[in-house]
Structure 1
Amino acid sequence: MAEGAKEEEAQGLYAVLPWDKFSNWLHCVCVVTFDLEIGQTLELVYPTHIRLSEQEKTNICYLAFPDSNSGCMGDTQFHVRIRQSPGRQGLAPDLGVYNSKCPVHLKADPGYFHGYVYFRQIKDKTIPRGYFQKSVVLLSRLPFISLFHKVAHRMANEFFERGETSIEAACHDVDQWAPPLPGEQVSLPLLGEILQTQIPCKSSSLTSPGSPSKCVVQAPSPTVLPSVHDVNLYKSFCPVLSHVHLLWELVLTAEPIIVMAPSPTVCSEMVYSLVTMIVPLLYCADYRPFFTIHDSEFKEYTANAHAPPSVILGVTNPFFAKTLQNWPHIIRLGETQSLATPQKHKLKKASNLKMLDSKPGVYTYYKSFLQKDKNIIKKLIKGTQMKRPCEVQNALLRRHLLELTQSFMIPLERYMASLMPLQKNISPYKAAPIPKPFNPDDFIATLETSGPQLTSGIKGDWVGLYRKFFRSCNFSAWYNARYHEVSLKLQTLQLQALSDADLKVWVQGKKEVEVVDMVLQIKHKIEQSQSEELPLSGVTKEQLQKRLDDIIFTLPEDLRAVLKNC
């Protein structure tokens, strides 16, 4: 075989297969239509090789349409979250790389799909019911709300005008997109348009997403998205602005919350605003930006109204007002309101929630641990009176919530760091030590000298809030993640010490079985570092390989051959 042909064949072995790049961004695109006789039907799934379970199909069909009495004439966009069926394949390899470098709240979730819905309802006398009702739904692993709302808008409008071939064309465009890599600016072609944005990384600013620059794109001029994921917190919380600190506590401690709104657009934006108001802490309980009585988890979440699970549900159907009136925390939103006049709804006891005549507001039994920060509320109200841009209001509120969350988490991070053994106690010849256990009482004792009062002016029962937080899934997930990180750090330090050690001296006087055990341990750690489980530097890996060769050389020749091949 000629050299050139061999090279082409080798390149072919590593070629990206059709739809590999597509799956980094989208799982599939669905078109759902309403049929007068049989109800919602899945008209199209593209790419055609994608297989959805019957449960996933049913959930998509019902979630693709507004579930309310508001009519929703014209076009409506909203966001849903669907639990995937068991047994499905995990994330695409490129998404694994993305997850290792992105902010924790923007990770691709192998257990759920995010659905971006574009619904159109218009009068049509040619249809038996008199209305054209159809939705385009984009399924993705990524919570890129801003980006995929834009993509859904472009794709749906093209589909309604030109038909199925436009869906196919759009999907082939997406299949050309480079994988999402945190920190990178991307230019994404879509149906003759260029979407330009930046993929956030762990060190990205959380309060002021920057517009992409230094990225030269040929005509047409790109549409620049300042953020792939951001929603306007101020717009969502404006109707309940005076209760934003109470809502922060409810979300922080993963309390069950119902959001009742007149449209799926309003409730899905509010639910996503809630789960992201504790960033950079990850909200770890379940949440459904839009939830219907037909959802496959309906019974799971409503069976015990007196002891509901940790979940945030966004609903529009008035049926829920009766079914879930015993839930401990309910946010009732009215019709879309002007941002010029933040509402001052009083806090109401949850028992006061009646069926259909409830006024907008927050209904709860909860008593806040912390006092409100009246300064930020006054500043935002004054901003609306001065007609300050909504984007500026959003930045002010997001920064305040970020600083509040950081004030709460910094003492925990500091205490967690204190559980790590001293580096001088790490031996190259022994297994890496493990972190000391987390002791809530020991942590509470540190608050007097290093508590949140050092960085936050908010007063109140911080200790009580921490103790409640310790009982939540948000704490469990944070602690498990930090414990894993600290454990990896200790293993890395132990291996660095081992790479610097003189194993030729250590091996003297050791039994053969001890030497073999050390060889196998080092080989295993090197393999772990290759799969990025252990963050070892290239220098450390090279030194470990040298130490490995050193001690293998001390063994009998027949054993050497076995160990080199194992």
Structure 2
Amino acid sequence: MDPLCRADSRRGPSEEGSEPPWARFSAWLECVCVVTFDLELGQALEAVYPQDVKLTEKEKSSICYLSFPDSYSGALGDTQFSFRLRQSVGRGPRGVWFEDSDAYNRDAPVTMQKDQSHLYGYVYFRQVKDDTVKRGYFQKSVVLVSRLPLVRLFQSVLQVIAPEYFKLEPCLEEVCHEIDKWPTPTPGHTLLLPCMGEVIKVRIPSKDDKLGGSPVQLNPEESLRPAPLVLPSCHEQDFFQCFQSMLVHVQMLWELMLLGEPVVVMAPSPAVCSETVLALVSSVAPLKYCCDFRPYFTIHDSEFKEYTTRTQAPPSVILGVTNPFFLKTFQCWPHVIRLGELKMSVDLPKQLKMKKLAKLKTLDAKPGVYTAYKTFLHKDKALVRRLLKGIQRKRPSEVQSAILRRYLLELTQSFIIPLERYLVSLMPLQRSISPWKTPPPISPFNQEEFIATLEHAGPQLTSVLKGDWLGLYRRFFRSVNFDGWYRLRHREMTQKVESLHLQVICDADLLSWTRDKSEVEIVDLILKLREKLIQARRHQLGMRAELLEKLELSIQSIISSLPQDLQALLHRD
């Protein structure tokens, strides 16, 4: 039997009867892969679960290369890391999760929405000596492939299942069936997820959560059951661990992320580079990082030539790499972070100084931030002193991370609040929305008009940082992040206007309006109202159910006022 097809022969256990096979599994994962080292083929897929998953050959190849360390390492043991790859053109998402209203993305924070154009890979790699293998080593990875950026959750799942699988336990088929019985990932809900005898308790954040909310808590009745593995977060990195060697550069790195600048992170291992890239991306939360990012990138990646060509400026992307070959390849990039083995001490920032790009030429280049970038904002020395004092006092890493995360959150909010305030002024006035007319359009974003508002309503109202805020905004307007933020907010504002318009329609006396109208006009009104109802239910415009029912009754009343032949036609539609 083909090893790629030897996964379960059963279909997913849709116990509900109405759900398609693997419907719940598909809400969490695309598939589970096992990647091994073949003496003739190199990295190769040993198994894929479920067997009917539709991965392209390009995706299979990428998963294989991204699931092993890029350069040979004699380090033995287990390591976990993550990667992100571009989905092949023409392949739709697995399952039914993307149909209709897509409740998950509607309710999740923008930074945690599922990705329709990329796949995440969560890897558990093991390398141990094995004399029974010609190469002398057992090398294998278990990989969870998903569209969800829930790195902490999926790493915890791997910590349960991968060690058992490496004991030659044929457990992955049963794990897939177990996941197919999980409740769907629902933002704002705390879920209990059984996994091979363990129970993982995790809360999926909601866009309505208070930023920096409290971790998951056990309910009193749960204390009587076997204790679950409680995850404080399903997605957050150890911020301080990732940034501890770059404390003096935190604000500069935040600016680079905000502006979508091309950045390469060179690290000694896939675990370090992938964690660092994900931490950089999340440093601008709650703003969504809209540029490309690859937590782990190899020379075998299908986009390698695209990202390393010297005939054009580097693209807006963050790449995490480990192969020393990249030192030469990325000399032309404007921002390179080289990480090394660091000693925890109060002098820690001195171990990673700002360096000139010209010095990034040899394989023995020292750890440092290689860039000529000049920050727009002045450095906040108080933050660095506070975190260094925490090192001196051996403050727990969780506390250090909370301090740093809160600081970056407040910095991003100070930057975004003036933009949000200006957007509100672009909305049409509610009194200008009539049930009988198309609602007025949202005014266009005028950059100079916005800049003029900063003197009295700028970031100085919430931030003590000094510097060239205006210059930072002007540079931000040219970035992919601004374009992505504005498109998202404009879509939300459009839906808000549609919601207000529909509410005005629901409150209007539609039947009276039709009394002096022609049958053509009335039928046209009915068709438009039905379309609005469909949109309201599909896009979840926040309308109360009773209002929509009231509109449905109004439509039926209007239809009843028409001749019988027209009534029959409209009821048939």
Q: Same fold (TM over 0.5)?
A: yes
* Fraction of identical pairs, as percent: 53
Quick one: distance in 2 between partners of 1:34 and 1:546?
Answer: 65
Question: What's the offset of the Cα at 1:40?
Answer: 0.9
Which residue of the other structure, out of 151, 160, 176, is the alignment partner of 2:157?
151
Determine if contact 1:233/1:397 at 8 Å carries over to the other structure.
yes
Determine if contact 2:345/2:392 at 8 Å carries over to the other structure.
no
In structure 2, do the counterparts of structure 1 residues 122 and 375 end up closer, same or farther at CA, with 3 Å as the change threshold?
same
Determine if contact 1:305/1:326 at 8 Å carries over to the other structure.
no
Q: Is 1:194 the counterpart of 2:203 in the alignment?
A: no
Which residue of the other structure, out of 170, 173, 194, is the alignment partner of 2:178?
173
Q: Which residue of 1 aligns with 2:84?
A: 81
**Cα offsets for 1:352-394 (capped at 9, x unmatched):** 3123121111111211111111111110011110100000000
Which residue of the other structure, out of 235, 240, 250, is the alignment partner of 2:246?
240
Pairs within 5 Å for 1:208-357: 208-214=213-219, 216=222, 219-304=225-310, 307-335=313-341, 337-338=343-344, 342-344=348-350, 345-357=352-364
Q: Which residue of 2 aligns with 1:526?
A: 533
Quick one: distance in 1 between partners of 2:224 and 2:147?
Answer: 30
In structure 2, do the counterparts of structure 1 residues 162 and 299 end up closer, same or farther at CA, with 3 Å as the change threshold?
same
SS for the counterpart of 1:21 is helix
Aligned CA RMSD, in angstroms, stands at 1.9
**Cα offsets for 1:417-452 (capped at 9, x unmatched):** 100011111111001222100000000000001000
How many residue pairs get aligned? The number is 555
Q: Is 1:388 the counterpart of 2:391 in the alignment?
A: no
Determine if contact 2:22/2:95 at 8 Å carries over to the other structure.
no
Quick one: distance in 1 between partners of 2:21 and 2:553?
Answer: 42
Q: Which residue of 1 aligns with 2:486?
A: 479
Question: What's the offset of the Cα at 1:305?
Answer: 6.7
Which residue of the other structure, out of 53, 58, 68, is the alignment partner of 1:65?
68
SS for the counterpart of 1:421 is coil
Q: Which residue of 2 aligns with 1:549?
A: 556
Quick one: distance in 2 between partners of 1:314 and 1:52?
Answer: 24
Determine if contact 2:499/2:536 at 8 Å carries over to the other structure.
no
Q: Which moved more, 1:301-310 or 1:71-80?
A: 301-310
Quick one: distance in 2 between partners of 1:218 and 1:91?
Answer: 38
**Cα offsets for 1:521-552 (capped at 9, x unmatched):** 11110111222353322122122223323433
In structure 2, do the counterparts of structure 1 residues 91 and 101 end up closer, same or farther at CA, with 3 Å as the change threshold?
farther
Question: What's the offset of the Cα at 1:491?
Answer: 1.3
Q: Which runs of 5+ in 2 are unaligned?
A: 1-13
Q: Which moved more, 1:533-542 or 1:452-461?
A: 533-542
Which residue of the other structure, out of 465, 472, 475, is the alignment partner of 1:468?
475
One-letter amino acid of the counterpart of residue 115, structure 1: G
Q: Which moved more, 1:36-45 or 1:434-443?
A: 36-45
Which residue of the other structure, out of 192, 207, 215, is the alignment partner of 2:212?
207
Question: What's the offset of the Cα at 1:507?
Answer: 2.3
In structure 2, do the counterparts of structure 1 residues 316 and 457 end up closer, same or farther at CA, with 3 Å as the change threshold?
same
Question: What's the offset of the Cα at 1:205?
Answer: 4.2
Q: Which runs of 5+ in 1 are unaligned?
A: 1-10
Q: Is 1:19 the counterpart of 2:22 in the alignment?
A: yes
Which residue of the other structure, out of 136, 139, 164, is the alignment partner of 2:142?
136
Determine if contact 2:258/2:476 at 8 Å carries over to the other structure.
yes
Determine if contact 2:83/2:120 at 8 Å carries over to the other structure.
yes
Q: Is 1:506 the counterpart of 2:507 in the alignment?
A: no
Determine if contact 1:113/1:141 at 8 Å carries over to the other structure.
yes
Quick one: distance in 2 between partners of 1:473 and 1:336?
Answer: 34
One-letter amino acid of the counterpart of residue 144, structure 2: L
Quick one: distance in 1 between partners of 2:322 and 2:210?
Answer: 34
One-letter amino acid of the counterpart of residue 141, structure 1: R
Determine if contact 2:190/2:216 at 8 Å carries over to the other structure.
no
In structure 2, do the counterparts of structure 1 residues 339 and 108 end up closer, same or farther at CA, with 3 Å as the change threshold?
farther
One-letter amino acid of the counterpart of residue 277, structure 2: V
Quick one: distance in 2 between partners of 1:432 and 1:63?
Answer: 50
Q: Which residue of 1 aligns with 2:41?
A: 38
**Cα offsets for 1:214-253 (capped at 9, x unmatched):** 2627653211111111101111011111000000000001
Question: What's the offset of the Cα at 1:340?
Answer: 6.4
Which residue of the other structure, out of 378, 385, 391, is the alignment partner of 1:378?
385
Determine if contact 2:30/2:94 at 8 Å carries over to the other structure.
no
Determine if contact 2:124/2:158 at 8 Å carries over to the other structure.
yes
Q: Which moved more, 1:209-218 or 1:127-136?
A: 209-218
Determine if contact 2:26/2:97 at 8 Å carries over to the other structure.
no
One-letter amino acid of the counterpart of residue 201, structure 1: S
Q: Which residue of 2 aligns with 1:6?
A: none
Question: What's the offset of the Cα at 1:169?
Answer: 2.2
**Cα offsets for 1:464-515 (capped at 9, x unmatched):** 1111111111111111111111111111111111111122332243333222
Determine if contact 1:238/1:339 at 8 Å carries over to the other structure.
no
Question: What's the offset of the Cα at 1:127?
Answer: 1.3
**Cα offsets for 1:254-278 (capped at 9, x unmatched):** 1110000010000000000000000
Determine if contact 1:369/1:460 at 8 Å carries over to the other structure.
yes
Determine if contact 1:108/1:142 at 8 Å carries over to the other structure.
yes
Quick one: distance in 2 between partners of 1:499 and 1:219?
Answer: 49
Question: TM-score when scaled to structure 1?
Answer: 0.94
Quick one: distance in 2 between partners of 1:184 and 1:192?
Answer: 22
Question: What's the offset of the Cα at 1:208?
Answer: 4.7
Determine if contact 2:267/2:322 at 8 Å carries over to the other structure.
yes
Question: What's the offset of the Cα at 1:133?
Answer: 1.0
SS for the counterpart of 2:293 is strand
Pairs within 5 Å for 1:441-460: 441-460=448-467
Question: TM-score when scaled to structure 2?
Answer: 0.93
Quick one: distance in 2 between partners of 1:63 and 1:325?
Answer: 23
Question: What's the offset of the Cα at 1:564?
Answer: 2.7
Determine if contact 1:306/1:327 at 8 Å carries over to the other structure.
no
**Cα offsets for 1:75-94 (capped at 9, x unmatched):** 11101112121222236445
One-letter amino acid of the counterpart of residue 68, structure 1: S
Q: Which residue of 1 aligns with 2:3?
A: none
Which residue of the other structure, out of 47, 54, 57, is the alignment partner of 1:54?
57
Quick one: distance in 2 between partners of 1:504 and 1:23?
Answer: 46
**Cα offsets for 1:109-128 (capped at 9, x unmatched):** 12111111111111112211
Quick one: distance in 2 between partners of 1:305 and 1:352?
Answer: 22
